[in-house]
């Protein structure tokens, strides 16, 4: 099973991001737009694993204080367009706790430096800088263990804890 740990976005934040994606389309930005239901903030990408039960148990031990997640600028990693965020002290603490929990049970995950972002377009091409960055925030109160699978040629994310 292909897994990752994420913060699911509030409906309000998804609405804000959807508006920005519509503006990007109107501005002629091409690419693979992320479906609204798949918008999230990845805390740890695990990938293929058979350790689902152990991961669930480890994540149950992760505790954190609710914190704010605020959208800021848009940016790119090569041809991936994202929306970044600020106020990440709390988010960074959650990431550390999640990764410590995964380390404690010896589960492998992508150890890239955590850069808080929400991917909105893959293979983006065009003048995205003409569109203002979205503004919005939400309170983070939970983390989710997510399953990623392909159904009918589309990527589908499902919360499993």
Where does residue 74 rank: exposed (0-12), middle (13-18), buried (19+ CB within 10 A)?
buried
Secondary structure letter of residue 50 according to DSSP:
S
Could you give the CA distance from residue 59 to residue 69 in angstroms, rounded to a whole number? Answer: 20
- Rounded to whole angstroms, the Cα distance separating 17 from 13 reads 6
Contact indicator for 29, 22 with CB cutoff of 8 Å: no
Shortest CA distance to 113 belongs to which of 55, 45, 36? 45
**CA atoms within 13 A of residue 147's CA, in its CB half-sphere:** 14
**Domain 2-156, classified CATH 3.90.1140.10, yes or no:** yes
Strands 144-151 and 30-33 come out as: unpaired
Residue 149: partners with Cβ closer than 8 Å, 6 or more residues away: 1, 2, 155, 156, 158
Distance from C-alpha of 57 to C-alpha of 2, rounded to nearest angstrom: 17
Q: Which helix (H) or strand (E) holds 25?
A: helix 11-26
- Cα 79 to Cα 82: distance, rounded to the nearest angstrom: 10
Q: What is the pLDDT of residue 86?
A: 78
The tens place of each residue's pLDDT in the chain, 161 residues long, gives 999 999 999 999 999 999 999 999 999 999 999 999 999 999 999 999 999 999 999 999 899 999 999 999 999 999 999 999 876 678 999 999 999 999 999 999 999 999 999 999 999 999 999 999 999 999 999 999 999 999 988 889 999 97
- Residue 87 is predicted with a pLDDT of 61
CB–CB of 83/117 below 8 Å? yes
Question: Which spans in 37-135 are helix H?
Answer: 52-60, 89-104
């Amino acid at each position: 099973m292909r897994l990752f740990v994420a913060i699911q976005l509030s409906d309000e934040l998804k609405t804000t991001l959807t508006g920005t994606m519509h503006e990007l389309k109107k501005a002629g930005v091409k690419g693979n737009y992320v479906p609204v239901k798949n918008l999230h903030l990845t805390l740890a990408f695990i990938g293929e694993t058979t350790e689902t039960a152990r991961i669930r148990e480890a994540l149950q031990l992760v505790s954190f204080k609710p914190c704010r997640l605020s959208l800021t600028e848009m940016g790119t990693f090569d041809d991936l367009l994202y929306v970044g965020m600020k106020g990440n002290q709390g988010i960074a603490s959650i990431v550390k706790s999640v990764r410590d929990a995964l380390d404690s049970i010896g589960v492998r995950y992508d150890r890239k430096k955590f850069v808080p972002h929400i991917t909105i377009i893959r293979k983006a091409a065009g003048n995205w800088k003409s569109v203002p960055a979205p503004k919005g925030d939400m309170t983070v109160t939970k983390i989710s263990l997510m399953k990623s699978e392909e159904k009918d040629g589309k990527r589908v994310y499902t919360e499993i804890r």
